[in-house]
Amino acid sequence: MLLRGLLSVLFAICGFTIAENTGNGTSQSVKDSPPLLLVSFDGFRADYLKQYSFPNLQKFFADGVLVDDVTNVFTTKTFPNHYSLATGLYAESHGILASHMYDPETKKEFSVANDTDPFWWNEATPIWLSVQNAGFKSAAAMWPGTDIKIQNQTATYFLKYNSHVNFEERLGNLTKWLTEDKSVRIAILYWEEPDRSGHMYGPENTTRMSKALKEVDDNIGLLMDQLNRTGLWDKINVIVTSDHGMVQCSDKKLIDLNTCLNSSVYTVVDLTPVAAIRPLNDYSSVYNKLRKCHPNMKAYLKAEMPERLHYKNNERIQPIILVADEGWTIVLDGKLPRLGDHGYDNSLASMHPFLAAHGPAFRKGYRQQSMNSVDLYPLMCKILGILEMPNNGTFNNVRCMLVNQTCTELAVVVGIVIGVLILLTTLTCLFRLMKVRDMSSSRPFARLELEEDDDDDPLLS
Ligand SMILES: [Zn+2]
């Protein structure tokens, strides 16, 4: 009984509730919840925050939440990761697996420049559709997928993708939709930098990167000003994050597939740093040659992909996957295509982005070391008060970011557990000691009584 009581107290302290992640216990309905603005600055590597100065971003999270390091999903490319942020699913589950895909059944092809066929997107329900299915509206500016008729619906308000539309115009449209139509509950904004500069100059070009990152920070300042001007700041929940990081590449780190294999025996669906290979006939001969091709490239048969990558269970994953080591580039023509790249193993810190948040739902001045990018989806569903679709995220990993969640630091919980155990041990020892003393003091008295009785008997007789 005592143990059960103790455990329930501890669970209450930790704030654990078993039903928490099933998605049904929404404490706040969509109708009552403030809108949510989700912003992605493409290719914002987590440690840029330590290397460069971001006065506006600093101001943004000083009064909110900062997560230093976000483990994203494999492949660490733009489209797979933006769809994971919006669905809480690994790439193998949402079906947007890479920048270039091929579907063996329909023979359809996908690329980031040819992405409008809903076929590629329909395996998942992104959060903007869940908001619409709950009877509310969404607004989007260039976020991948939002201008496509996924399950027959685009975002309610959206801008067709056009890289020439500047940040102010994207933001201006979103704040206009948010202020003019009160039924907009989610707004979602995408910006191409610092990814573009990272690819062009490489993340180690500090002169170019500091210029690009200053512009990103200026845009964050613009975002806060605009929200203030339109009366939305402090009323709206804002999340600023990214899809992946960036690593320096070099022409000294090239893996040319043509040096290992005749190009007539296979087709390349996607090339670098994760290549998707379709052998034309003899799978095992192609695999064996690729396996020995280069010490800085791993070759996997689809069925043998490591479980941790969650990159196996989808028809669109090709029979052989090649994964280059950090900073290495797979090529077919011997030339380095980009000075910076991403897409590598998602366990690499250089591939990770950060996350910051501000608004009435979030704690103020709260800092968390890490989370998974798929955890963002259940967090957003909780904030918006909508039902979660099945997903790979864990709300408990991010619950402490929210102001309305009971949350005690792990160190405090461990301290309380140790304190309670010491107290219980002390009480047990004291109890035993008193019992022993009690017994030892009662025995002579009993014996005395007996002896007196014994003594009395002869007198009576
Ligand atoms: Zn990207």
Average pLDDT, the chain: 90
Under 8 Å between Cβ of 67 and 376: no
Residues 105, 98: Cα–Cα separation, whole Å? 18
Per-residue tokens: 61: 């999270």
Alpha helix segments (H runs only) across 164-307: 167-180, 195-201, 206-229, 283-291
Nearest to 82 by CA among 193, 211, 190, 204: 190
pLDDT in tens, 51-92: 999 999 999 999 999 999 999 999 999 999 999 999 999 999
* Max CA pair span of the chain: 123
Residues 282, 319: Cα–Cα separation, whole Å? 12
Under 8 Å between Cβ of 209 and 194: yes
Residues 128, 136: Cα–Cα separation, whole Å? 9
* CATH architecture assigned to 36-89+124-246+345-401: 3-Layer(aba) Sandwich (3.40)
Instruction: Kindly state the average pLDDT of the residues 312-321.
Output: 98
Residues 352, 69: Cα–Cα separation, whole Å? 6
With a CB cutoff of 8 Å and minimum separation 6, the contacts of 388 are 21, 22, 23, 88, 377, 378, 381
Identify the pLDDT of residue 387. 97
| Residue predicted with more confidence, 286 or 429 | 286
Per-residue tokens: 146: 């939002």
Q: Say if domain 254-341 classifies as CATH 3.30.1360.180.
A: yes
Cα(201) to ligand 1 centroid in Å equals: 15
pLDDT in tens, 405-452: 988 766 677 778 888 888 898 888 888 888 877 766 555 444 444 444
Residues 168, 322: Cα–Cα separation, whole Å? 40
Cα(77) to ligand 1 centroid in Å equals: 6
Under 8 Å between Cβ of 164 and 182: no
The backbone torsions φ and ψ at residue 102, rounded to the nearest 5 degrees and listed phi first, read: -140, 130
Under the banding of pLDDT at 50, 70 and 90, the label for residue 455 is very low
Reduced to 3 states, what is the DSSP secondary structure of residue 169?
helix
Marked catalytic residue, from 71, 75, 78, 125: 78
Under the banding of pLDDT at 50, 70 and 90, the label for residue 26 is very low
Domains of the chain: which residue ranges? 36-89+124-246+345-401, 254-341
Chain Cα centroid distance, residue 74: 12
The CA dihedral of 376, 380, 386, 389, to the nearest 10 degrees, is -10
Per-residue tokens: 145: 């997928």
Please indicate whether residue 394 is annotated as part of the active site: no
Residue 360 is given by DSSP the state T
Cα(282) to ligand 1 centroid in Å equals: 35
Cα(189) to ligand 1 centroid in Å equals: 13
